Amino acid sequence: MSDFPKFVEFREEGPREGFQIEKEIYPIEERIELIDMLSDTGLKRIQVGSFVSPQYVPQMADTGLLFQRIKRVPGVKYTTLWLNDRGFRKALTAHEVDIDPRLLFYPSDAFSRSNNNASSMEMRDKQSEWVKLYKEEGYTVDTAYVMTAFGCNYEGDIPQERILDDFRFVLDLCAEEKIPVPILVVADTMGWGNPEAVKRMIGSLREMAPDARIGMHIHDTRGLGIANLHAALSMGVDMFESSIAGLGGCPFAGHGHARAAGNVCTEDAVFLCHELGIETGIDLDKLIAAALKTEQIIGAPLMGRVMHSGGLDKYRKAS
């Protein structure tokens, strides 16, 4: 029996994760225009860019400038990503960044080394240090991610118990530090998940942490993104990270093709929720306009479906 939430929060990752995997560095003016369009859709959280090494991710080198030039809409949070203390310090000093502290766990040691130049256990140990750092700066942890939750391009299938062990560590760490349990995010970083695996994972996580809010970071690498999102919805998950027009992917995840690596498409996911009677607070038509703008910037057909077909309202009104 389905347990759909009444309202779903979408956190937009396109301006960061969408553009970081592209080989071309697109003009900042166009990315500013896209972010401003996204701000007008009803989205309440937009990840603008990341403070990471410009040597390895040159596409994000102008993130600080983006934060200076975008037009902010009241009620919308403009966030960023960091992978180490240095990146966090840059975020703190950048122009009007909405800091959303996160913890990052890597059950795949190979992916951890590729993405962070550190082992899984080293990254786990760092999270304890990050909690203390966040507390010192007056912040509470917002989200805790466990990556490659269903499988890894480097290591293959990841046993569910290894994923749950990292979430167990999060719960113990929160108890030890006397802080609230953050949103527990199941991240299908490389698109290995399927609907039944999603249900098993969410079900097991709910048994472990019945009072915690659960979110998902879904990739549509093999065409199962929307199916996996529907499965998560049926388990009551009410927060998803997605990307406009289906852009996205980690450049260190070993994807064979950048376009196929994309996150679950925001406008397709919002359309699904609306068809299921689930509120999102998002204007689908404005979201589609932003998706078409994204396609114009990239200069190639993108993976979204609803951006090309449109929603159903106009047909319903005409019938």
Give which of 184, 176, 118, 117 is closest to 147, Cα–Cα.
184
Instruction: Report the predicted TM-score, pTM, of the whole model to 2 decimal places.
Output: 0.95
Integer CA distances (angstroms), 41 to 23, 45, 225, 264, in order: 28, 11, 22, 18
Catalytic positions are 250
pLDDT per residue of the chain (319 residues) written in tens, 0 to 9: 468 999 999 999 999 988 988 889 999 999 999 999 999 999 999 999 999 999 989 999 999 999 999 999 999 999 999 989 999 999 999 999 999 999 999 999 999 998 888 999 999 999 999 999 999 999 999 999 999 999 999 999 999 999 999 999 999 999 999 999 999 999 999 999 999 999 999 999 999 999 999 999 999 999 999 999 999 999 999 999 999 999 976 655 555 555 556 899 999 999 999 999 999 999 999 999 999 999 999 999 998 999 999 999 888 988 7
In the block, tokens 């979110």 appear at 215
The pLDDT of residue 1 is 46
- DSSP helix/strand/coil, 177: helix
What are 161's two structure tokens?
A: 């118990």
How many C-beta atoms surround the C-beta of residue 91 within 10 A? 23
Give the 3-state secondary structure of residue 118.
coil
- Helix count and strand count (H, E) for the chain: 13, 8
CA distances from 293 to 152, 192, 224, 278, 288 (A): 32, 29, 25, 26, 9
Express each pLDDT in 165-188 by its tens digit: 999 999 999 999 999 999 999 999
Determine contact, residues 63/80, Cβ cutoff 8 Å: yes
Domains of the chain with CATH codes: 6-99+280-319 (3.20.20.70), 101-242 (3.20.20.70)
The DSSP secondary structure of 47-90, one letter per residue, reads EEEEE--TTT-GGGTTHHHHHHHSPP-TT-EEEEEESSHHHHHH
Torsion, Cα of 117, 122, 125, 127 (10° steps): 20
Q: What is the pLDDT of residues 276-307, one digit of tens each?
A: 999 999 999 999 999 999 999 999 999 899 99
User: Looking at residue 17, what DSSP letter applies?
Assistant: I
Query: What integer pLDDT is reported at residue 185 of this predicted model?
Result: 98
**Within 13 Å of residue 19, how many CA atoms lie on the same side as its CB?**
29
